[in-house]
Structure 1
Amino acid sequence: MCGRFAFHSLDLSTLAKAVHQHDLFVDAEPRYNVPPGTLISVARRVAAEAPVTIEQLWWGYQPYWADAKAPQPINAKAETIATSHYFAPAFKRHRCLIPVDGWYEWLNVDGRKQPHYLTRVDNQTLYLAGVWTERGDDKPPGVAIITEPARGTAREVHDRMPLALDDDSLEPWLDPHFTEREAIRGVIRHIGAELIQHWTVSTAVNRPGDNGGPALIDPL
């Protein structure tokens, strides 16, 4: 799954190159412990001919047409997102990217949960595939991060991981012209498993919020 992440570099250069734009930047502060139920930086294209924009959207997905008591998931499974009544409309029309530097998972060690930080070995930005939906009542749109079965060393920490896309997949993922599942599958690839590394970090990250700053991602 993906329930906490860090985005501190604010570097969107790979995405800017992929979508042929020079004006992509993040109007936000570096964050080292981003929890659900907060505003996060999201890249999306709201119409077929519109430019890619970076906006602050809500991490929690609840469509405006859903009952008020409907769930507000933060993740969606890659295996079922295209056929799920809850997510399928967004998968077809409202795909987005969530830039992060890394994410956290917790490994049970002797009855205690030890946090690990997972990131790219080359320190490049990770672009996580997501979907967004209008929430209504003047609320900012809500977002869910897509997850897939864990690969490579990520499997040592958790059985699932966020779907991080390779550079060539960024533009087609944001292209509203792709609406059918098989067409999307044909142009989308996740990054290689060999690009992911992880290490243990302080349990200070267990407290949601930006506690500790850069020290939160330091290896123990």
Structure 2
Amino acid sequence: MCGRFALYDIPRVRRSLRLILGEGFEPLAVPPRYNVCPGYWVTAAWHPEEDAPLALGQLWWGFRPQWATGKAPEPINAKCEGVATSRYFRSSFARHRCLIPADGWYEWLTLPDGKQPHFLCRNDREPLWLAGLWTHRADGNPGCAILTEPARGAAAEIHDRMPLALDDASLEPWLDPQLTNREVLRHTVHHLDDSLLTHWPVSRRVNHPGNDDPSVIEPISVG
């Protein structure tokens, strides 16, 4: 799953997106964040409307379509294996896809003395582009969920699932609202090579959302 991540190198994120998708993005006026939690605004790239230019702005991390009522769930993740056919996600999968940039994410490894958090990122420290879906919510705000897939490479050492991080060639087609055929998407969009992933243990201070500073991503010794 992906329930916590970090986004702190904002200039590199904007530079990466500009190199891949071209010019036209306003500078992001957001602070670096080392402990991003669900139920908050997150930075994302998406088309607010099908014919609108690509935007780089904020989505609420919590997915609940306008038509969902009562005690309908508000998931933060969606398994990529079922989003194309799920009643909850299929409309967004067809036309409301987005990208959530991250410098890395956190997973917890179960040890005899409790769960040990690890920070997972690219070994070259380039931004990760996490595949997401967005929807119009009843409160008028756009909300999103991050897609997950079975864990691969170094990530599989920590958890059985991981966020779906895309390779550079997949970013433009993933964001294209005109590309709605799921078979074409399946053959066009590819996840990041797992050889690029690495991880290290970090302080359990990250367990508390209020601890949002560079120290929570620093490696520690365990055992």
TM-score under structure 1 normalisation? 0.96
In 2, Cα distance between the equivalents of 1:17 and 1:49?
22
In 1, Cα distance between the equivalents of 2:194 and 2:90?
27
**2:192 maps to amino acid:** I
SS, match of residue 14 in structure 1 = helix
Deviations 1:113-154 (A, max 9, x none): 00000000000000000000000233x211000000000010
Alignment-derived partner of residue 179 in structure 1: 180
Deviations 1:9-42 (A, max 9, x none): 0122222122212425322100000000001101
Change (3 A) 1:212 1:15: closer
Determine if the alignment matches structure 1 residue 76 to structure 2 residue 78. yes
In 2, Cα distance between the equivalents of 1:188 and 1:46?
21
Alignment-derived partner of residue 123 in structure 1: 125
**2:54 maps to amino acid:** V
Alignment-derived partner of residue 66 in structure 1: 68
In 2, Cα distance between the equivalents of 1:90 and 1:74?
14
- Report how far residue 84 of structure 1 moved: 0.4
Determine if the alignment matches structure 1 residue 160 to structure 2 residue 161. yes
Matches within 5 A, 1:11-50: 11-50=13-52
SS, match of residue 133 in structure 1 = strand
Q: Which ranges in structure 2 are unaligned for 5 or more consecutive residues? A: none
In 2, Cα distance between the equivalents of 1:115 and 1:52?
34
In 2, Cα distance between the equivalents of 1:71 and 1:123?
34
- The sequence identity of aligned pairs, in percent, is 54
Alignment-derived partner of residue 197 in structure 1: 198
Contact map agreement 1:61 1:72 (CA 8 A) in 2: yes
Contact map agreement 2:50 2:95 (CA 8 A) in 1: no
In 1, Cα distance between the equivalents of 2:29 and 2:163?
24
Q: Which ranges in structure 1 are unaligned for 5 or more consecutive residues? A: none
Alignment-derived partner of residue 115 in structure 2: 113
SS, match of residue 153 in structure 1 = helix
Alignment-derived partner of residue 2 in structure 2: 2
- Report how far residue 86 of structure 1 moved: 0.3
C-alpha RMSD of matched pairs (Å): 1.2
**2:134 maps to amino acid:** W
The count of residues paired between Structure 1 and Structure 2 equals: 218
Change (3 A) 1:186 1:82: same
